């Protein structure tokens, strides 16, 4: 397999937004990539928009329609079809800097023959100058997903993984649920001994939409209880601060609206710890309410 990137996009009723991503791909300074689009059951004219892209013959595009099943099922489908050595997930409402693919190539070439690396990662940005989350000082850091927090690698990042590794793992699929957090897959890659080289550069420009996964996260998590449980347990495995982990436990408890005991069981955490976290959160709310009166 030649060094080629598979840019993967799952889309659902985003016909008016795909053009921005398409234009950014057409502008790439390195065109050695394919673009796989999996339409996750759109009811708008997404297929017509993509057919126009295909007719322009600017990119190597594969378009697949599937019944609505969630982004993780679409990614698994895309992995089955991917021809690239590297797999790069780019959401339908986002775009890339003109040199994104070139930077992936240049930076991956330095580690391509070191099989301890699963790939490379970069910053996402609200603009070319304003990053999403937080980052580290310097050019790059080598670490796995479980130990990223201690290096201040926080928030969404643009991970580019070796396709063969992802094909060997894939997302778990839960009957009756249509969501699965990417942290479940990324952590499993780390547990198998693979690390990433994280670069302190923005190559991915994003916009969190009101109708997207991010804005509707609580509703999505509530409607996907097994995936919510799996996601929270995986997040607790990452080396975040205790304060942040306590927040994750409380958020899970609040969204699930269940007993403290059940939360402790689901997250495999000590009952006394979960009780303390929930009580502290409730006390803070009371104090805040009193101060505002």
Count of domains forming the chain: 2
Which of 207, 235, 267 is a domain's end point?
Answer: 207
Which of 186, 207, 228 is a domain's end point?
Answer: 207
Q: Are 177 and 232 contained in the same domain?
A: no
Angle at 233 between CA 232 and CA 234, to 5 degrees: 90
Q: Are 72 and 160 contained in the same domain?
A: yes
What pLDDT is recorded for position 3? 63
What pLDDT is recorded for position 207? 77
CATH of the domain at 175: 3.90.550.10
Q: What b-and-e string marks burial along 35-67, b requiring 16 or more CB atoms within 10 Å of the CB?
A: bbbbbbbbeeebeebbeebeeeeebbbbbeeee
What pLDDT is recorded for position 215? 56
What pLDDT is recorded for position 260? 98
Containing structural domain, residue 127: 5-207
What pLDDT is recorded for position 210? 46
Q: Are 23 and 144 contained in the same domain?
A: yes
Q: Are 202 and 286 contained in the same domain?
A: no
Q: Are 274 and 154 contained in the same domain?
A: no
- Cα–Cα distance measured from residue 157 to residue 149, given in angstroms and rounded to the nearest whole number: 12
What pLDDT is recorded for position 1? 46
List of residues 6+ apart from 232 with CB closer than 8 A: 248, 249, 251, 252, 267
pTM value > 0.75: yes
Q: Are 192 and 287 contained in the same domain?
A: no
Give the pLDDT confidence of 3-41 residue by residue, as tens digits.
699 999 999 999 999 999 999 999 999 999 999 999 999
Mean pLDDT per 10-residue section of the chain, whose length is 293 residues: 86 95 98 97 96 97 96 98 98 97 96 97 96 96 98 97 98 97 98 98 82 70 97 98 97 97 98 97 88 76
């Amino acid at each position: 397999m030649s060094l080629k990137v598979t840019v993967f996009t799952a889309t659902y009723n985003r016909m008016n937004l795909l053009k921005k991503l398409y234009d950014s791909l057409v502008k790439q300074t390195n065109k050695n990539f394919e673009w796989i689009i999996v339409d996750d059951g759109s009811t708008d004219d997404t297929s017509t928009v993509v057919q126009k892209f295909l007719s322009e013959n600017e990119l190597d595009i594969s378009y697949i329609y599937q019944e609505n099943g969630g982004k993780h099922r679409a990614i698994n489908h895309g992995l089955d079809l991917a021809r690239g050595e590297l797999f790069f997930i780019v959401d339908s409402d986002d775009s890339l800097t003109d040199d994104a693919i070139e930077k992936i190539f240049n930076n991956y070439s330095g580690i391509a023959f070191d099989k301890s690396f699963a790939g490379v990662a970069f910053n996402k940005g609200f603009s070319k100058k304003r990053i999403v989350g937080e980052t580290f000082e310097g050019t790059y850091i080598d670490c796995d997903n479980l130990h990223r927090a201690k290096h201040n690698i926080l928030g969404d990042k643009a991970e580019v993984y070796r396709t063969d590794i992802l094909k060997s793992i894939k997302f778990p699929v839960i009957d009756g649920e249509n969501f699965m957090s990417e942290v479940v897959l990324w952590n499993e890659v780390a547990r198998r001994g693979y690390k990433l080289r994280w670069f302190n550069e923005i190559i991915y420009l994003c916009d969190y939409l009101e109708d997207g996964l991010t804005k509707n996260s609580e509703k999505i998590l509530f409607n996907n209880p097994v995936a919510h449980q799996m996601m929270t347990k995986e997040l607790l495995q990452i080396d975040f601060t205790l304060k942040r982990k306590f927040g994750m436990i409380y958020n899970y408890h609040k969204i699930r609206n269940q007993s403290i005991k059940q939360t402790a069981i689901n997250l495999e955490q000590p009952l006394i710890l979960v009780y303390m976290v929930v009580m502290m959160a409730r006390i803070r709310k009371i104090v805040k309410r009193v101060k505002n009166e």
